[in-house]
Structure 1
Amino acid sequence: MNLELKLTDTQLQVLTHAIQHTQGRIDWFPEHIKGGARQKVIEALYNKALIDKSGDDCYCVIADVRLALGGQPDTSEPESMTDVTPPSSKSSKQAQVLAMLSRPEGATVPQICATTGWQAHTVRGTFAGAFKKKLGLEITSEKTKGSDRVYRLPAVSAS
């Protein structure tokens, strides 16, 4: 593996410590990294495919990164865990909204706000950001006179 990625000092410290002290398990952060900043470091390393999830809330440095940074691969775990995908919650707000949009009658912004507790601008932002840009979903909308705009996910045909 060619490690020509740009890593922050913190990311490099976390990876190096994991390789040298905890057999690749990420469980240490510099003293100044607290709370949400720790999660951001984990997310950045995960998105760069330098670590993988290994159980509940446990992340490990992948074998190729260990070797590239001078460590030894841990023979007690599989060589590659690239098939691991983050678990998705069936009861998440995003899943609830997608279920509402998948109904034949669709959903209005006020209905989604009532279900999720979100404000209207958050609902519309989720449509544009998470659903359209990240998930690539096409959301249709229809406005009839005297009622709220109805949003739907087009039905997928089984042809």
Structure 2
Amino acid sequence: MPKLTDTQTIILSRAAARPGNLATPLPKGLHGAAAKVVVTRMIERGWLEEVDADMRKGEPLWRETGDGHGTTLIATEAGLEAIGIEPVVAKATSASRKAKPNPAPKPVAIRPGTKQAQIIALLQRAEGASIGEIVEATGWQAHSARGMISGALKKKLGLAITSRKEANRGTVYSLDA
């Protein structure tokens, strides 16, 4: 049997007692960076698995994926074996709960006339746009323009935006076709 920490043993034991071998919620007092370290190590060892959370059943979330969905944690067959529990139920539960691959993202309609549409138009130009040019066009602060590029455009809309340094313009962002 592998060597488990007390925290890992508690997480797996509680998961074995829950329907569907849910490992969440984690023990009281285990949160933040400490929780992330413990869970990451357990996933690396194959003791836990991250799967889509069934929000209709009220399953606790481990983390949000940013697209309106979340994931939860379940104990795997190897995790139950690590604490000495027969993994018959784990195999069936794990197979039925595997995270399904995300379907192709739906095309997002950009409302014309918005600042987001202005920024996209600037980025689509052959020469791209620097933060200074975006600030000038929108009236925003530089940090807000960078936040729009990384958050709304890259993460939420999934646009492929590249950046490059130019001597006279600074960092120039462009939208890949």
TM-score, length of structure 2 as denominator length: 0.45
Larger Rg: 2
Identify, as 1 or 2, the structure richer in helix.
2
